[in-house]
Amino acid sequence: MARVFVARELPFPALDRLRAEHEVEVWPERLPPPRDRLEDREGLLTLLTDPVDAAVISASPGLRAISNYAVGVDNVDVEAATARGIPVGNTPGVLTESTADLAVALMLALMRRLPEAQAAVRAGEWLTWEPARLLGRDLHRSTVLVVGPGRIGKAVARRVQGFGARVIEAGRGDPLPLAEADVVTLHCPLTDETRGLIGAAELAAMKPDAYLVNTARGPIVDHAALLDALRGGEIAGAALDVTEPEPLPADDPLLDAPNLIVVPHVASATHATRAAMADMAVDNLLAGLRGEPMPHCVNAQALSRR
């Protein structure tokens, strides 16, 4: 029986399977646990907000498995884990469709100015039907640039094509045809190459009536440049499910930018998707603690180093 730390409460049956085999401590608070609570464990089930860096790994001589409750593993020093023979698991594929749904929902909310429309009703400003009030733009017949046409990017492409939109794609190393797009939607992983991929020059290259949607990773977009672009009217609006940092401080100037929607990293927030993620994360951790290959492992070579 291993000592396992779960970095947040998961309201799904998957944890019962983990408790049946191991001694499990679940962090009960809404905010991430302090770093020292991650140390000196044999198994970790973590979220993207939990840094499992080289220092945490070094302070955990008995650590045998890390399972991340996410597709990305930006918070884990995979290289340090691999050097120690510690497998790192993730939850790919399961949140593809839910994330694609949210990306399209954000496009529609931006283009049809839904936050402004709701605010007007609540403020008592809906006085009559006005032909020129709250005019938005159509998703149908628009051109959508999918940056990162992987699983999620392809799922978004299928959806917007169903609306009658034209899709163009830009993969790794491809030029970004930003001037062609009415909507730029980001679905690339966070790497050294994609960090700051959308900065001042890229935003200036977009059409002034175009929109930016980011459901990938916050650091892909330069927030200072985005704030300037929104204030200066260089683009028509932006919607972010991810930010840098997460969460944004309440006094972050970006939150006062015009034509901006920010939601708290909810792309996978459906009952079915989050439950499936919990099952995958627990399956990964149970396998890793048994010394078996994880069903979903980002560093399969770690087992050969044990």
- Beta pairing partners, 298: none
Strands 88-89 and 65-68, by their bridges, are parallel
Q: Is 265 a catalytic residue?
A: yes
Distance CA(84)–CA(64), nearest Å, equals 9
Provide long-range contacts, Cβ within 8 A and 24+ apart, for 194-199: 194/220, 195/219, 195/220, 196/220, 196/221, 196/222, 197/147, 197/221, 198/222, 198/225, 198/226, 199/225
246 labelled catalytic: yes
- Strand-pair category, 237-240 with 260-262: parallel
Written as one letter, the residue type at 51 is: P
Residue 217: active-site member: yes
Closest CA to 186 of 81, 121, 194: 194
By DSSP bridging, strand 211-214 and strand 183-186 are parallel
Selected catalytic residue, list 64, 187, 223, 265: 265
d(CA 196, CA 177): 17
SS3 159: helix
CA distance 144 to 156: 10
CB 278 within 8 A of CB 69: yes
3-state secondary structure of 166: strand
Peptide bond into 247 cis (omega under 30): yes
Instruction: Name residue 260's beta-bridge partners.
Output: 238
Which of 217, 223, 274, 296 is labelled catalytic? 217
Of the residues 246, 290, 292, 306, only one is catalytic, namely 246
Instruction: Identify the CA nearest to 47 among candidates 105, 100, 8.
Output: 8
Active site residues: 217, 246, 265
